[in-house]
C-alpha cells in the first residue's frame, strides 16, 4: 500500500479524533506568516480554524437517512452558525495552505483527504452513472458548477456541536437544460426522485432528492439562474414519513432561489456583510457557535471573520459597542495575574448582569443569597489552558470591584455549585481566601478550587492552576503580561509549544496502545510529526486595537509574534 492510500485508510478510521486535532493545529496556522510587509502582523484565530475546516468540508456533501438526528434538532435555517462566501469551493483548501507554516505542519495529505473523501467520490460516481445510463452530459459538469464557481455556503451545528449541516447556493446561467433533464431522470431513476415542491416568485419549483451512497441523501432545487443544495432532507422535510415540509425552512430556501438579489442574500444582515462578492474567500462564524452557546454572557462579541484575498489572510471580529460596559474590554488587569506560557488564553467582555438569572436560581441552594455577585464583578474575564493541565480544566480569572468584600458569597456559591461527598476545605492566609473540594469523576479524582485575593477571583477544576495564578499575583512566578507590550488591547495569547504538549497528552490518553493499536499507530505517524513542527514556532498574541464608538461593526484582529 503506497503512502497516500495508507494515510487515507488510517485517517478514515481515525477521523472522529484526528480531524479534531487537524482543526486545532490549523487554527494556529491560518495566517501567522501571511503578511509580506510585516511578519509581526498576522491574522487568524484559534476558534476560527474549526470554521475554516468545516467550510472546506462543505463540498463533501454530508448526509444520512431521512429520519436522522437533524429532525430532532429542528434547525432554524434562517439563522446559520457560519457563512462562507467564496470564488471557488474547490480552491479553498489549497488557498488555506498558501501559508508556509500550514504547509509545514499539515502537508499535502490535508488536501488529499478532502479531495478523495468517500462522500465526494460517492457523489461523483452516482452522477456519472446517472449521466451515462440516461445519456446526459452533466455528470462531472454539475460538480464543477458547484465547486469551481462563486458560491455561498451556510452551515448549521449538529447535536454534537460540529458544523455538519449546510446549504450551498450558486448562480449559474446553464440551469435550464439541467432542470429539464433532472425532471425526466427523477421519474425513472432509483437514486433520484422528487422530494417535494416549493413556491418561488410565484412559480412551482420541484425539490429533488439524490441518494448518492448508503445513508447519504441530498436535496437540490433550481429556479432561474439559482441552484440550492441541502446536505440532508431533514433540513426541509420531516414528519413520520419524512415528507412534511417545514414552512419556515421552505421560506428560507425560496429566498435563496429568488431572482431578487436582496432576497438571495438573506443571511448577510445578521453577519453584517455587504452585498459584494469577495475577491477570494470570506468566512464568518458566530460567537455563539464558537463559545458552545455561552455567547449571551458576552453579547458584545457577535462573530469572527476570515478573509482571503490576493494571497493573504486577515481576520476581524464583529463588536457590538452598545453592549459594552464602560471599560468593558480593557484587559490590563487580567494579564498581570495569568501565568506565562499558556497553551491558549482568551479574554471576553463579560456582561455580568446576564449572570443574574443563574445566580437567582442558585440562591435556592446556597447558604447565603449570591445575587450580589453580579454587581461586584466587573470588566472582562479570561479563560486559559496550560500544557501541564488538561483540556477540560481551564482556569478562569475575573476582576471584582475594589474593596468589594463579601468573600462568604463566593464560598457559598462554590459549595453549592461543586458537588461532592467530601467537605469543602477553606483556607485563609495573607489576604487570600481559598476553597477546595475533592470530587470523584469518571476520569479520576479532581480537586476544583476557587480563590479570592484582593480584586482577583480565580477558579479551575484543577486546583493547581488556581495556585499558579495566586503565585503570579504574589510576584513569585512569571506572568503572561511580562512579554506583552500592550496588555490592555491583547485579547488572546497562544504558545504553540505548550499547545502541542496539551494536544499530545489529550490525544494519547484517549488512545491507549493496548486497546487502540491502529489509531495509536495513525497518531504516531501523522499527528506526532505535526506537533513537532508546531513546537518550533514562537508565541503569538491577538490584538484588538480599536472598538466601534457605537453600533455594530467589524474591527481588525491582528496577530503579532511575542518576543521572548
Residue-wise pLDDT tens digits, 366-375: 777 888 888 8
Looking at the fold, whether 244 and 363 belong to one and the same domain comes out as: no
Higher local confidence (pLDDT), 76 or 27: 76
pLDDT, residue 118, reads 55
For residue 336, the 8-state DSSP code is: G
109 within domain boundaries:
yes
Q: Which residues pair with 456 in a beta bridge?
A: 399, 453
The pLDDT-based confidence of 190 (bands split at 50, 70, 90) is low
Looking at the fold, whether 443 and 390 belong to one and the same domain comes out as: yes
Higher local confidence (pLDDT), 293 or 540: 540
pLDDT, residue 126, reads 54
Looking at the fold, whether 52 and 138 belong to one and the same domain comes out as: yes
Residue 17 has pLDDT above 60, yes or no: no
Mapped onto helix, strand or coil, the DSSP state of residue 482 is helix
309 within domain boundaries:
no
Neighbours of 246 (CB within 10 A): 20
Phi-psi region of 201 (alpha: psi -120 to 50; beta: other; left: phi over 0): left
Looking at the fold, whether 345 and 268 belong to one and the same domain comes out as: no
Q: What is the mean pLDDT of residues 159-171?
A: 86
Q: Which runs of E-coded beta strand occur in 420-502? A: 425-429, 432-436, 439-441, 444-446, 449-453, 456-460, 490-494
CA dist 279 and 90 (Å) reads: 15
Is residue 527 within 8 A of residue 507, CB to CB? The reply is: yes
Residue 303 has pLDDT above 90, yes or no: yes
Q: Give the Cα-Cα-Cα angle 203, 204, 210 (nearest 5 degrees).
A: 135
345 within domain boundaries:
yes
Q: Phi/psi at 260 (nearest 5 deg)?
A: -75, 120
Looking at the fold, whether 340 and 199 belong to one and the same domain comes out as: no
Residue 80 has pLDDT above 60, yes or no: yes
Q: Phi/psi at 199 (nearest 5 deg)?
A: -105, 115
Of 257, 284, 311, the domain-final residue: 284
556 within domain boundaries:
no
Is residue 288 within 8 A of residue 81, CB to CB? The reply is: yes
Grid cell digits, residue 124: 461523483
559 within domain boundaries:
no
| pLDDT tens digit sequence for 196-219 | 899 999 999 999 888 876 677 889
Grid cell digits, residue 355: 449572570
Residue 485 has pLDDT above 50, yes or no: yes
374: buried, middle or exposed (CB in 10 Å: 19+, 13-18, 0-12)? Answer: middle
Q: What's the chain's Rg over C-alpha atoms?
A: 26
500: buried, middle or exposed (CB in 10 Å: 19+, 13-18, 0-12)? Answer: buried
Looking at the fold, whether 338 and 250 belong to one and the same domain comes out as: no
Q: Phi/psi at 367 (nearest 5 deg)?
A: -75, -20
457: buried, middle or exposed (CB in 10 Å: 19+, 13-18, 0-12)? Answer: buried
Q: What is the mean pLDDT of residues 500-511?
A: 91
Looking at the fold, whether 452 and 346 belong to one and the same domain comes out as: yes
pLDDT, residue 294, reads 85
Residue 384 has pLDDT above 90, yes or no: yes
Of 284, 317, 351, the domain-final residue: 284
Of 228, 251, 284, the domain-final residue: 284
The pLDDT-based confidence of 533 (bands split at 50, 70, 90) is confident
pLDDT, residue 404, reads 73
What average pLDDT does the structure give for the chain?
Answer: 78
Looking at the fold, whether 59 and 130 belong to one and the same domain comes out as: yes
CA dist 72 and 542 (Å) reads: 38
Q: What is the mean pLDDT of residues 166-181?
A: 74
Residue 438 has pLDDT above 90, yes or no: yes
Global pTM reads 0.77
CA 137 centroid distance within chain? 39
Is residue 378 within 8 A of residue 422, CB to CB? The reply is: no
Q: How many helices (H) and strands (E) does the chain have?
A: 20, 24
Grid cell digits, residue 258: 429568488
Residue 50 has pLDDT above 50, yes or no: no
Looking at the fold, whether 235 and 351 belong to one and the same domain comes out as: no
The pLDDT-based confidence of 535 (bands split at 50, 70, 90) is confident
Number of domains in the chain: 2
Domain of 400 in residue numbering reads as: 325-494
Is residue 526 within 8 A of residue 507, CB to CB? The reply is: no
pLDDT, residue 120, reads 54
Looking at the fold, whether 278 and 347 belong to one and the same domain comes out as: no
CA dist 530 and 104 (Å) reads: 8
Q: Which runs of E-coded beta strand occur in 22-112? A: 82-86
Of 124-133, 170-179, 319-328, 551-560, where does the model show the most confidence? Answer: 551-560
Amino acid at each position: 500500500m503506497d503512502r497516500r492510500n495508507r494515510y487515507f485508510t488510517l485517517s478514515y478510521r481515525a477521523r472522529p479524533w484526528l480531524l479534531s486535532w487537524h482543526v486545532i493545529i490549523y487554527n494556529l496556522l491560518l495566517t501567522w506568516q501571511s503578511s509580506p510587509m510585516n511578519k509581526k502582523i498576522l491574522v487568524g484565530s484559534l476558534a476560527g480554524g474549526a470554521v475554516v475546516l468545516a467550510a472546506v468540508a462543505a463540498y463533501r456533501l454530508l448526509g444520512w437517512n431521512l429520519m436522522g438526528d437533524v429532525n430532532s434538532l429542528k434547525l432554524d435555517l434562517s439563522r446559520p452558525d457560519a457563512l462562507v462566501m467564496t470564488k471557488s469551493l474547490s480552491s479553498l483548501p489549497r488557498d488555506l495552505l498558501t501559508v508556509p507554516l500550514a504547509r509545514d505542519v499539515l502537508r499535502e495529505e490535508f488536501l488529499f483527504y478532502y479531495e478523495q473523501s468517500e462522500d465526494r467520490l460517492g457523489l461523483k460516481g452516482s452522477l456519472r452513472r446517472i449521466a451515462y445510463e440516461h445519456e446526459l452530459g452533466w455528470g462531472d459538469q454539475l460538480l464543477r458548477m458547484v465547486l469551481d464557481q462563486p458560491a455561498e455556503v451556510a452551515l448549521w451545528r449538529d447535536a454534537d456541536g460540529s458544523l455538519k449541516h449546510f446549504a450551498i447556493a450558486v448562480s449559474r446561467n446553464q440551469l435550464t437544460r439541467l432542470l429539464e433533464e433532472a425532471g425526466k431522470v427523477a421519474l425513472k431513476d432509483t437514486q433520484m426522485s422528487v422530494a417535494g415542491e416549493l413556491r418561488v416568485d410565484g412559480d412551482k419549483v420541484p425539490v429533488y432528492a439524490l441518494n448518492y451512497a448508503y445513508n447519504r441523501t441530498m436535496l437540490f432545487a433550481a429556479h432561474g439562474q439559482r441552484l440550492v443544495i441541502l446536505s440532508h432532507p431533514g433540513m426541509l422535510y420531516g414528519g413520520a414519513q419524512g415528507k412534511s415540509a417545514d414552512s419556515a425552512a421552505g421560506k428560507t430556501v425560496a429566498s435563496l432561489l429568488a431572482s431578487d438579489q436582496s432576497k438571495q442574500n438573506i443571511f448577510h444582515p445578521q453577519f453584517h456583510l455587504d452585498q459584494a462578492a469577495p475577491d477570494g474567500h470570506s468566512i464568518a462564524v458566530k460567537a455563539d457557535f464558537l463559545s458552545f452557546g455561552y455567547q449571551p454572557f458576552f453579547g458584545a462579541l457577535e462573530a469572527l471573520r476570515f478573509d482571503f484575498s490576493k494571497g493573504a489572510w486577515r481576520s476581524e471580529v464583529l463588536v457590538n459597542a452598545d453592549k459594552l460596559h464602560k471599560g468593558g474590554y480593557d484587559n490590563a488587569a487580567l494579564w498581570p495575574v495569568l501565568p506565562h506560557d499558556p497553551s491558549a488564553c482568551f479574554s471576553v467582555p463579560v456582561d455580568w448582569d446576564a449572570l443574574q438569572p443563574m445566580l437567582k436560581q442558585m440562591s435556592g441552594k446556597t447558604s447565603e443569597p449570591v445575587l450580589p455577585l453580579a454587581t461586584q464583578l466587573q470588566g472582562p474575564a479570561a479563560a486559559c489552558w496550560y500544557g501541564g493541565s488538561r483540556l477540560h480544566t481551564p482556569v478562569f480569572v475575573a476582576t471584582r470591584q475594589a474593596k468589594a468584600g463579601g468573600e462568604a458569597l463566593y464560598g457559598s456559591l462554590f459549595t453549592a455549585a461543586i458537588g461532592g461527598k467530601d467537605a469543602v476545605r477553606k483556607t485563609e492566609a495573607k489576604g487570600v481566601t481559598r476553597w477546595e473540594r475533592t470530587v470523584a469523576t469518571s476520569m479520576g479524582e479532581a480537586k476544583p478550587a476557587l480563590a479570592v485575593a484582593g480584586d482577583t477571583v480565580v477558579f479551575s477544576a484543577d486546583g493547581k492552576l488556581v495556585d499558579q495564578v495566586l503565585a503570579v499575583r504574589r510576584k513569585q512566578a512569571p506572568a503572561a503580561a511580562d512579554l506583552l507590550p500592550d496588555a490592555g488591547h491583547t485579547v488572546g495569547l497562544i504558545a504553540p509549544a505548550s499547545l502541542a504538549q496539551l494536544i499530545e497528552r489529550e490525544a494519547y490518553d484517549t488512545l491507549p496502545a493496548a486497546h487502540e493499536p491502529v489509531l495509536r499507530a495513525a497518531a504516531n505517524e501523522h499527528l506526532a510529526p505535526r506537533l513537532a513542527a508546531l513546537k518550533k514556532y514562537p508565541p503569538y498574541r491577538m490584538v484588538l486595537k480599536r472598538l466601534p464608538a457605537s453600533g455594530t461593526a467589524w474591527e481588525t484582529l491582528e496577530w503579532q509574534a511575542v518576543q521572548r
